[in-house]
């Protein structure tokens, strides 16, 4: 019996770990296009230099060996559901191969979304992967050779506000008092997915650190060194110069979802998960992590906490499927309706929002503790 896991982020590793602990006689095959796991919540700190690449990455091959699984570095192209095979490309030989499965877990995550805005993908930097973050850091190092660097961050969700805080640390650590950080958000307040008291508190912290915040403005186009905005209330356009533009404005499903049946996809192309986290219409295919869309009375959030919880549920239900037992319902806790998070704002400061409460004491220490604890999996 073979379980193939596509994607080795938080959800995929959670499936593999839990399945390894529960299974007897189940072959676990992990597939990812990268050889190393990347601890995504800490990527903004690459910009300020608080963490190094080695500290927040780990060998997937080593991890697989540790839990008794197999790892293949492959780029997944499509899934043949009738033949129960994954079509993947070997990056070393460029040849395609077909990998059979008995159970399939799709945990391939998401990609940056540029919403068709002219010039955005061409000119913007990001921190969505380690390579992206290192590239952005390099551009920052080059830019500080000049006076008065202006950084524009588009998107004031969790990643955007954290990037803004780390940029302030980067510039202050180099004595670049004339440099500016501008955070742009289309909604009328930053962190629009959170309650207003969270947005207000984080805005006060960022403004006190010198971050300029511009809400209610939608990006219309991007050119080299200039971004065009539209103030939604006033219907007035404006152009802003930038030296560095960092995009944190949204996500879309991994491109593999384009090859999935239309009936298995929710609005936007996310993969529909049933009550047991099976792909809608399939009993031997499960979905987990950012690419999954799960909704009952509440919609599961796309965050590390739920990715890991989904992974454990998927592993449990694969084993129950093999035994012919009743499957376990998935019940999300960190949801769109009731979000919670640890939000780092630079300078060793973080804010935790949990069950309606804002907590600041020891929040940053807790965030770093969770990072170190997770990365010990790869030791």
**Structural domain includes residue 281:** yes
- Let me know whether 22 and 100 are in one domain: yes
In a domain, 376, yes or no: no
Last-in-domain residue among 231, 249, 267:
249
Residue 259 CA, chain-centre distance (Å), reads 21
CA dist 314 and 306 (Å) reads 12
User: Domain containing 75: what range?
Assistant: 2-111+252-323
Does pLDDT of 23 surpass 90?
no
Q: Give the pLDDT confidence of 42-98 residue by residue, as tens digits.
A: 999 999 999 999 999 999 999 999 999 999 999 999 999 999 999 999 988 889 999
Round to whole Å and give the CA distance between 119 and 123: 6
Same domain, 69 and 55: yes
Q: Do 62 and 102 reside in the same domain of the chain? A: yes
204 and 121, same domain (yes or no): yes
Q: Is residue 356 part of a domain?
A: no
pTM: 0.95
| Domain shared by 125 and 242, yes or no | yes
Question: Is residue 82 a part of any domain in this protein?
Answer: yes
* Percent share of the chain, pLDDT over 70: 100
Q: Which residue in 276, 269, 272, 239 sits closest to 254, CA to CA?
A: 269
Is the pLDDT at 261 greater than 80, yes or no?
Answer: yes
What's the chain's average pLDDT? 96
Query: Are residue 75 and residue 139 in the same domain, yes or no?
Result: no
If asked whether residues 166 and 222 sit together in one domain, one would say yes
Residues 140 and 262 in one domain: no
For position 13, which CATH number holds? Answer: 3.50.50.60
The pLDDT of 266-293, averaged and rounded, is 97
245 and 256 belong to one structural domain: no
For residue 296, is it within any domain?
A: yes
**Total structural domains within the chain:** 2
Q: State how far the Cα of 227 lies from the Cα of 363, in Å rounded to an integer.
A: 35
> Is 323:139 a contact under the CB 8 Å cutoff?
no
| 72, 11: one domain | yes
pLDDT tens per residue across span 173-225? 988 888 999 999 999 999 999 999 999 999 999 999 999 999 999 999 999 99
Average pLDDT over residues 316-323: 96
pLDDT at residue 22 is higher than 90: no
Give Cα separations from 365 to 93, 169, 227, 339, 369 (angstroms).
44, 17, 37, 21, 6
CA-nearest of 7, 35, 43 to 254 is: 7
């Amino acid at each position: 019996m073979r379980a193939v896991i596509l994607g080795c982020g938080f959800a995929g590793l959670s499936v593999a770990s839990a399945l390894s602990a529960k299974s007897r006689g189940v072959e676990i095959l992990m597939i990812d296009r990268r050889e190393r796991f990347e601890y995504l919540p800490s990527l903004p700190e690459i910009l300020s230099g608080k963490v190094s690449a080695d500290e927040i990455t780990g060998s997937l091959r080593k991890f697989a060996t540790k839990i008794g699984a197999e790892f293949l570095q492959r780029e997944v192209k499509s899934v043949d559901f009738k033949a129960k095979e994954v079509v993947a490309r070997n990056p070393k030989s460029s040849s395609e191969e077909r990998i059979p499965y008995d159970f399939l877990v799709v945990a391939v995550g998401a990609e940056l979304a540029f919403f068709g805005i002219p010039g955005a993908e061409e000119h913007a930097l990001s921190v969505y992967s380690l390579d992206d973050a290192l590239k952005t850091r390099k551009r920052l190092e080059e830019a500080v050779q000049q006076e008065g660097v202006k950084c524009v961050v588009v998107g004031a969700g969790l990643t955007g506000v954290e990037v803004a805080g780390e940029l302030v640390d980067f510039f202050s650590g180099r004595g670049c008092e004339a440099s500016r950080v501008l955070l742009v958000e289309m909604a009328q307040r930053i962190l629009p997915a959170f309650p207003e008291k969270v947005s207000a508190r984080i805005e006060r912290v960022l403004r006190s650190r010198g971050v300029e915040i511009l809400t209610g403005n939608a990006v219309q186009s991007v050119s080299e060194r200039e971004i065009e905005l539209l103030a939604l209330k006033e219907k007035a356009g404006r152009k802003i110069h930038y030296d560095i533009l960092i995009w944190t404005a949204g996500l879309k499903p991994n491109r593999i979802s384009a090859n999935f049946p239309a009936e298995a996809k929710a609005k936007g192309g996310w993969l529909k998960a049933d009550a047991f986290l099976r792909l809608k219409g399939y009993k031997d295919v499960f979905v987990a992590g950012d690419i999954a869309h799960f909704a009952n009375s509440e919609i599961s959030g796309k965050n590390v906490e739920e990715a890991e919880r989904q992974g454990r549920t998927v592993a449990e239900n694969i084993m129950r499927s093999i035994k012919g037992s009743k499957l376990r319902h998935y019940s999300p806790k960190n949801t769109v309706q009731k979000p919670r998070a640890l939000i780092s704002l630079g300078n060793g400061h973080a804010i935790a929002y949990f069950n309606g409460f804002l907590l600041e004491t020891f929040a940053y220490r807790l965030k770093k503790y969770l990072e170190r604890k997770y990365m010990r999996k790869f030791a």
